[in-house]
């Protein structure tokens, strides 16, 4: 087991050094550990944002297909039709460009970055024994960087805004008041995840799409699982999750406003070739109804027009 973990660690070593170098570079720009982690998070999310957009589109497409999926489930009931049902559903997914696991894509992509950042943060607080004393010896960052020198000067503490970002909520903080900010970090991270999911649900209601049951179950339990995870990782990694979730919320809001993720956009029925398009009938304005004449009123007789004088003289001569 140790040889396997050593082999895996050897594979990731170049990646750890790359992210350590990026983190030290961010610290050079603004010498604050929390700000440096925030800048690194923005860089990572810049890489992951295209996948977030694709995942959001896939989730909206899945919601749009729920009526069709229910029809297929009603049509192919029973275990004897299970294979046919799966084939028809996969065919429907291919035709509509939907992915049943597309909504889990951002979470799956976050996992390796969480592991990398956790390892880099753990390396920053690394200590070794020199002459019988435990002294800081940061790993994965250049020894000539400002961050390296700051960590050595602070005895390996990743201090930012009065917090040691290498500690966890249940670490030894010395007092209850000192531990409160770490629990606040966890609460904010979980609340933001619920807000992001509520943002998606509200969008579904506005477009009249139903939420898949699997997605609803995932939304209920996933933040709870992450809450436990946030309790056992350093606050620096929780800070990364807070900032990355905020970026995803902003990305989804911009997509919704621009109509990129609207499942009804561009989905009008296309007519087959040669079929004439239906032309709407011209609007006919109703004629103004005539005022009915009272029953006791006699029809008006046209008055005789008076004859001219010349015509009257001619008639008298003829007589």
Q: Give the model's pLDDT for residue 143.
A: 92
Residue 33 lies in a domain: yes
Residue 238 lies in a domain: yes
Tokens found for residue 315: 């008639």
Q: Give the model's pLDDT for residue 180.
A: 94
Q: How many domains is the chain built from?
A: 1
Residue 268 lies in a domain: no
Residue 144 lies in a domain: no
Residue 139 lies in a domain: no
Of 289, 236, 274, whose CA–CA distance to 41 is shortest?
Answer: 236
Q: Which domain does 19 fall in, by range?
A: 2-125+157-258
pTM for the whole structure:
0.68
Supply φ then ψ for residue 134, to 5 degrees.
-90, 110
Q: Give the model's pLDDT for residue 62.
A: 74
Residue 120 lies in a domain: yes
- Reported as a single tens digit per residue, the pLDDT across 135-186 is 899 999 999 999 999 999 998 899 998 899 999 999 988 889 999 999 999 9
Tokens found for residue 35: 């700000």
Residue 65 lies in a domain: yes
Q: Give the model's pLDDT for residue 213.
A: 60
- C-alpha span between 302 and 277 (Å, rounded): 54
Q: If the chain, 319 residues long, is cut into consecutive pieces of 10 residues, what is the mean pLDDT of each piece? A: 56 90 95 94 88 74 78 83 85 76 66 88 90 89 94 92 91 90 94 85 65 63 84 93 91 79 47 45 53 53 53 53
Of 168, 174, 175, 173, whose CA–CA distance to 228 is shortest?
Answer: 168
Tokens found for residue 310: 């010349």
Cβ proximity of 124 and 139 under 8 Å:
yes
Q: Give the model's pLDDT for residue 239.
A: 94
Q: Give the model's pLDDT for residue 268.
A: 42
Residue 131 lies in a domain: no
Cβ proximity of 250 and 45 under 8 Å:
no
Q: Give the model's pLDDT for residue 310.
A: 54
Neighbours of 192 (CB within 10 A): 19
């Amino acid at each position: 087991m140790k040889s396997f973990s050593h082999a895996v660690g050897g594979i990731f070593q170049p990646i750890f050094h790359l992210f350590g170098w990026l983190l030290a570079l961010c610290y050079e720009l603004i010498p604050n550990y929390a700000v440096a982690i925030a800048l690194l998070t923005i860089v990572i999310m810049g890489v992951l944002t295209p996948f977030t957009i694709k995942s959001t589109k896939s989730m909206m497409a899945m919601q749009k297909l729920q009526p069709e999926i229910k029809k297929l489930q009603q049509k192919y009931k029973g275990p004897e039709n299970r294979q046919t049902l799966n084939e028809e559903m996969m065919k429907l997914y291919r035709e509509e460009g939907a992915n049943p696991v597309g909504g889990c894509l951002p979470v799956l992509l976050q996992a390796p970055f969480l592991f990398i950042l956790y390892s880099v943060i753990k390396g920053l607080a690394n200590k070794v024994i020199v002459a019988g004393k435990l002294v800081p010896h940061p790993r994965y960052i250049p020894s000539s960087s400002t961050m390296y020198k700051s960590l050595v000067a602070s005895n390996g503490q990743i201090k930012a805004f009065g917090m040691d970002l290498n500690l966890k909520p249940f670490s030894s903080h010395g007092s209850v008041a000192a531990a409160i900010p770490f629990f606040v970090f966890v609460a904010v991270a979980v609340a933001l995840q619920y807000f992001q999911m509520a943002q998606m649900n509200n969008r579904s209601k506005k477009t009249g799409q139903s939420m898949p049951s699997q997605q609803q179950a995932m939304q209920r339990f996933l933040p709870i699982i992450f809450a436990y995870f946030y309790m056992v990782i350093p606050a620096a990694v929780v800070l990364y999750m807070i900032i990355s979730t905020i970026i995803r919320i902003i990305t989804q809001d911009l997509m919704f406003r621009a109509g990129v993720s609207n499942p009804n956009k561009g989905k009008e029925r296309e007519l087959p070739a040669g079929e004439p398009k239906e032309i709407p009938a011209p609007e006919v304005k109703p004629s103004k109804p005539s005022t009915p004449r009272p029953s006791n009123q006699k029809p008006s007789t046209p008055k005789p027009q008076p004859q001219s004088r010349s015509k009257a003289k001619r008639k008298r001569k003829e007589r």
